[in-house]
């Protein structure tokens, strides 16, 4: 019982310190989770905010528009 409790605490602490961003990789054809530290926030020429990141699984550049 004690072991289960300590595991839950450990997982919660990990989530607090690491922000993950969901992006879609066109090459893997699935959603991948990228560490927020590796996500760049940019603007398109039309002033639309977007996210840019590299797929951790295949290295393909991914972009995602935000509202
Ligand atoms: Zn990929």
Strands 61-65, 49-54: pairing is antiparallel
Does the predicted model carry a pTM greater than 0.75? no
60, 26 contact by CB (below 8 A): yes
Q: Tokens for 21? A: 């961003």
Residues of the chain scoring pLDDT < 50: none
In sequence order, which residues have a C-beta less than 8 Å from that of residue 55 and are 6 or more positions away? 23, 25, 27, 28, 32, 34, 61, 62
Q: What separation in Å is there between the alpha carbon of 50 and the centre of ligand 1?
A: 18
Q: What separation in Å is there between the alpha carbon of 63 and the centre of ligand 1?
A: 12
pLDDT at residue number 27 = 97
Q: What separation in Å is there between the alpha carbon of 46 and the centre of ligand 1?
A: 27
């Amino acid at each position: 019982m004690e072991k289960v409790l300590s595991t839950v605490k450990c997982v919660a602490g990990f989530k607090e310190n690491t922000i993950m961003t969901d992006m879609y990789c066109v090459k893997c054809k699935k959603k991948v989770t990228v560490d927020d530290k590796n996500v760049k926030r940019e603007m398109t020429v039309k002033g639309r905010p977007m996210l840019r990141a590299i797929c951790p699984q295949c290295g393909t550049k991914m972009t995602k528009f935000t509202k």
